[in-house]
Amino acid sequence: MPDLVRDVRVRFAPSPTGPLHIGGVRTALYNYLFARKTGGKMLLRIEDTDQNRFVPGAESYIIEALNWVGIQIDEGQTANGPLGPDAPYRQSERREIYQREALRLVEEGKAYYAFDTADELDAMRKRLEEANAPAAQYNAITRLQMRNALTMPAADVKARIEGGEPHVIRLKTPRKEEVRLNDIVRGWVNVHSSAIDDKVLLKSDGLPTYHLANVVDDHLMNISHVIRGEEWLPSAPLHVLLYRYLGWEATMPQFAHLPLLLKPEGNGKLSKRDADLGGFPIFPLQWTDPFSGTVARGFREDGYLPEALVNFLSLLGWNPGTEQELFGMDELIEAFDLEKIHKGGARFDIEKADWFNQQYLRQRPDAELAPAVQTQATAAGLDCPPEKAEAVVRLLKERVSFARDIFPEAHTIFYAPNTYDEAIRAAKWNDDARKAVTVFRDALLTYDGPFEADAIKHLLADTLTAAGIKQGKIMQAMRLALTGSGVGPDLMLSMQIMGKEGVVARLENALAKL
């Protein structure tokens, strides 16, 4: 194919057969990054020609998932209907287009009608398997033994079609021909036509198969690059052959087949079962099956931030060639390069996803995370005004990976201790510790200044200095008295959130119990 200078137009073309797999999100992301990097356009096309597998709600789920992760569609199917000059973007609404092209291939001798029943096809495959044939497929040799337009009189074929007998249209694959394509990720791919069977192009219900529909649509929508998963690589030579037969090879898009997402242990393709066993989601959003009512977890509902998920997915199969790990969307667009995509599969390390979430959680404003703390506190029967919730977030958000974990981590802030760490008590609770807690309590009883972290810090330091106590030796005991533990977040900010009366009560309780 000659090199062409053309506007970049890419497409993401999922099937509405259920929730969008996280691998599909990565495919959409790479398409989006490439389109934005090159000033091109991204289309969303719904490939719903397999009506037997259609699932209600799946299309709207896909659109919502893309919106959540920040992938903006320029043309295609949207929540408000089709957007762009090539509508419709649902393949089920384009059947006349596919039928026209399939019939043209028949008329030009590049495809043919076939009337074989399911039982006849099964019998053919069984015969080939018993004969130890290299492949049990409908091809240039076996088609001459089947019921199709190549073995039947033209008048008989015409009569059967006019009589409404079920039939399909199959591609007439050449017997001895080399099919080549230069994949951006894989390099040159060469396949002999004898390895390509006579695929069905148009099914008996009048709808196309994926192979015909995606080639016709990519041509008519002027798609410049097809960026899709590795599982479609075996079909690519067939698609090249279709472009050739349809007369569109000169404007055929460039292909880039992305590496697989692998199980966490790195062995085999990532599946929902792997996610269930590993205790993590495999879909971007929570999904409720409309038939069974089964609920599948989603990254959004599990507390992952969209920018963290995007950053994580971007590095599963692509590397910028630098040590940088944190990329906002604009930075990803600037750095992205199709030629830096790996050939080998990428291990799905959910712990790395958690780490990314932690990094982006730290960047979120405290006020944005505070409502989650308020909701959990209210559910626990606690009073937690916005300013207190924000202070809790500020205290703890660098210690957690998810917003949902902030309130549980704040247990010692909301609840005075009933028990005390025995190891810390044995090692640190001594006369100096008891004296320090006592004088600090007394100082708080007469203190009428602002009860803020900095002021508390100075009050404690001045009180201990006046009492001749070294602060470094009693701080773990002071924390023990206030929280029941020897470790935890910033103690001064913790006391600010507890409030003066709360701190005094805890110190008095510790003096009585310890």
pLDDT in tens, 159-186: 999 999 999 999 999 998 999 999 999 9
Question: Is the pLDDT at 4 greater than 60, yes or no?
Answer: no
Residue type, 107: E
Question: What does the pLDDT average to over 216-230?
Answer: 98
> Is 272 within any annotated ligand binding site?
yes
What percentage of the chain has pLDDT greater than the value 70?
Answer: 99
Bridge partners, 148 (sequence order): 114
Average of pLDDT values for 395-406?
96
14: alpha, beta or left, given left = phi > 0 and alpha = psi -120 to 50? beta
Cα–Cα distance for residue pair 43/255, rounded to 1 Å: 16
Q: Are strands 111-114 and 81-83 parallel, antiparallel or unpaired?
A: unpaired
**CA dihedral of 16, 19, 20, 21, whole degrees rounded to 10:** -130
pLDDT of residue 136: 86
The answer to whether residue 3 scores a pLDDT higher than 80 is no
Rounded to an integer, the average pLDDT of 393-407 is 97
Residue 371 scores a pLDDT above 50: yes
Share of the chain above pLDDT 90, in %: 96
Tell whether the model's pLDDT for residue 2 goes beyond 80.
Answer: no
The backbone torsions φ and ψ at residue 278, rounded to the nearest 5 degrees and listed phi first, read -85, -10
Average pLDDT rounded to a whole number, residues 338-360: 97
Instruction: Extract the runs of DSSP E, i.e. beta strands, from 53-172.
Output: 75-78, 81-83, 111-114, 168-171
Give the pLDDT confidence score for residue 50 in this predicted structure.
87
pTM greater than 0.75 (yes/no): yes
Active-site positions read: 272
Task: Give the pLDDT score at 6.
Answer: 87
Q: What is the C-alpha to C-alpha distance for residues 94 and 92, in angstroms, rounded to an integer?
A: 6
80 pLDDT above the threshold of 90 = yes
> What is the tens place of the pLDDT at every residue in 272-308?
999 999 999 999 999 999 999 999 999 999 999 999 9
Q: What is the mean pLDDT of the chain?
A: 96
- Distance in angstroms (rounded) separating the CA atoms of residues 395 and 242: 61
Rg of the chain in Å (alpha carbons): 33
pLDDT at position 1 is 43
| φ, ψ of residue 226 in degrees (nearest 5) | -105, 105
